[in-house]
Amino acid sequence: MANKGVDIAPAEGKLGILLVGLGAVSTTLVAGVEAIKRGISQPIGSLTQMGTIRLGKRTDNNVPKIKDFVPLANLDDIVFGAWDIFSDNAYDAAMNAGVLEKDLLNQVSEQLASLKPMAAVFEQNYVKRLHGENVKEGKNKMELAEQLIEDIAKFKTDNGCDRLVIVWAASTEIYVEESEVHTSIEAFEKAMYDNDSRIAPSMIYAYAAIKSGVPFANGAPNLTVDIPALTQLADQHKVAICGKDFKTGQTLMKTILAPGLKSRMLGLDGWYSTNILGNRDGEVLDDPENFKSKEVSKLSVLEHIFQPEVYPDLYGQFSHVVRINYYPPRGDNKEGWDNIDIFGWLGYKMQIKIDFLCRDSILAAPLALDLALFMDLAQRANMKGVQEWLSFYFKAPQTAPGLYPEHDIFIQLMKLKNTLRHLKGEDLITHLGLEYYD
């Protein structure tokens, strides 16, 4: 089953991680990496830093760390950059986000204060609740993309970077449906010159990234790089892309629990999910048009895991409701409740209640780090286009056209690890295990 492996360029030199949006997730990522580099904290929640991978048979006892198995950039070789509509440096932005304690931030204050965001590409209509001053001007959207391309090139030279990766961790944009301007590169570029309102700022960043040969990961539910024009462009330029929407809090719990319920053929009448959240993300999502993007991304998960068309008696009629309420006192410390109405043998009804007192950005930061490191690996391994093996990190994984996304977190993890084994020419693990009984 093993192949000879894939040629992977070494992770030499510096890796620049450019973050679109310098808010709660991004500052928690940057401060965290600085703290980890100094030995103040551990990279908990990060598969690239703490995860292992089994190679060969169970009896081989060969379980290296993932970072020792595939060539990933070292944390010491990472340089961060960012764009934001506010000009606060990362220290002020982190204080403002209120995720990490002042004591911790003060220990890495120098590195944070030196990270000043570049001017953003922003359109008020896409995020109505925010009003920033650090915004680029241009006579059309193509000109804005060209300014971003210049930013990217300048960042790379100024910081002596060997490679770059871009991660969208900016506010969720309003819901946009795919339309004719998104269907081909030509239509998309024409729409950029025409300043068409259907070209979202996030799409302009994605376009600039791909044109610059830089992998792009989308941490929010916006359509962004999940349109034919940009997937074609990524293929053409041999650039890795992936999205959408970091899988943290409630959706993480859903994709852990739902496969378990289904594995035991327990039926589902309904799954009601509600959240209170008081950070800036919560404020943006308080606008119905922005919430719609999140809702669509959150709702897709159960349909795909339970497969109502295959199991009509168990999952044919369940109702799935998702709410997010903006509630300032909680800040980034979200509380997510789930009420799950299930039924078992002979149709007898049962209930499960979950109350997850989580911390949104604490859950998201390690995902952003892993994505940046794995996207850099993918690029060095010449893996162009949509990186479905990174579905593990997303609420609404991007796939090839016509392919349904895999949401079950355990299948996603197996897919990710088998992709790493494949890259290195190791046997894939099927869990068949008959050989132990020969």
Contact positions vs ligand NAD (CB under 6 A):
20-26, 83-86, 97, 120-122, 127, 130, 132, 169-172, 201, 219-220, 245-246, 248-249, 279-281, 360-361, 363-364
Q: What SS3 state is found at 346?
A: helix
Q: What SS3 state is found at 313?
A: helix
Residue nearest to ligand NAD (CB): 23
Neighbours of 280 (CB within 10 A): 21
- Please report, as a single letter, which amino acid is at residue 404: Y
Q: How far is the CB of 148 from ligand NAD (least distance, A)?
A: 10
Q: How far is the CB of 9 from ligand NAD (least distance, A)?
A: 30
Q: How far is the CB of 168 from ligand NAD (least distance, A)?
A: 8
Q: How far is the CB of 429 from ligand NAD (least distance, A)?
A: 29
Residue with tokens 């007898």: 348
Is the CB of 246 or the CB of 374 nearer to ligand NAD?
246
> Is 117 within 8 Å of 94 (Cβ atoms)?
no
Is the CB of 53 or the CB of 203 nearer to ligand NAD?
203
> Is 48 within 8 Å of 69 (Cβ atoms)?
no
Q: How far is the CB of 146 from ligand NAD (least distance, A)?
A: 16
Q: How far is the CB of 25 from ligand NAD (least distance, A)?
A: 3
Which residues, including other chains, have CB under 8 Å from residue 110's CB and lie 6 or more apart?
none
DSSP state at residue 294: H
DSSP state at residue 58: G
Reference 152, options 332, 334, 20; nearest CA is 20
Q: How far is the CB of 5 from ligand NAD (least distance, A)?
A: 33
Is the CB of 25 or the CB of 429 nearer to ligand NAD?
25
> Is 116 within 8 Å of 108 (Cβ atoms)?
no
Q: How far is the CB of 219 from ligand NAD (least distance, A)?
A: 5
Which residues, including other chains, have CB under 8 Å from residue 139's CB and lie 6 or more apart?
none
Q: How far is the CB of 250 from ligand NAD (least distance, A)?
A: 10
What whole-number distance in Å separates Cα of residue 168 and Cα of residue 245? Answer: 9
What whole-number distance in Å separates Cα of residue 80 and Cα of residue 158? Answer: 12
- Please report, as a single letter, which amino acid is at residue 418: N
Please report which helix (H) or strand (E) contains residue 378, including its range. Answer: helix 360-380
Please report which helix (H) or strand (E) contains residue 423, including its range. Answer: helix 409-423
Q: How far is the CB of 79 from ligand NAD (least distance, A)?
A: 19
Reference 119, options 136, 94, 101; nearest CA is 136
Is the CB of 86 or the CB of 389 nearer to ligand NAD?
86
Strands (E), 298-365: 319-326, 335-343, 349-357
Is the CB of 54 or the CB of 198 nearer to ligand NAD?
198
Is the CB of 81 or the CB of 201 nearer to ligand NAD?
201
Query: Cα–Cα–Cα angle for 273, 279, 285, nearest 5°?
Result: 55
Is the CB of 27 or the CB of 318 nearer to ligand NAD?
27
Is the CB of 360 or the CB of 376 nearer to ligand NAD?
360
Q: What SS3 state is found at 74?
A: coil
User: How many residues belong to the chain?
Assistant: 438
Peptide bond into 244 cis (omega under 30): yes
What whole-number distance in Å separates Cα of residue 438 and Cα of residue 434? Answer: 7
Is the CB of 243 or the CB of 267 nearer to ligand NAD?
243
Is the CB of 280 or the CB of 424 nearer to ligand NAD?
280
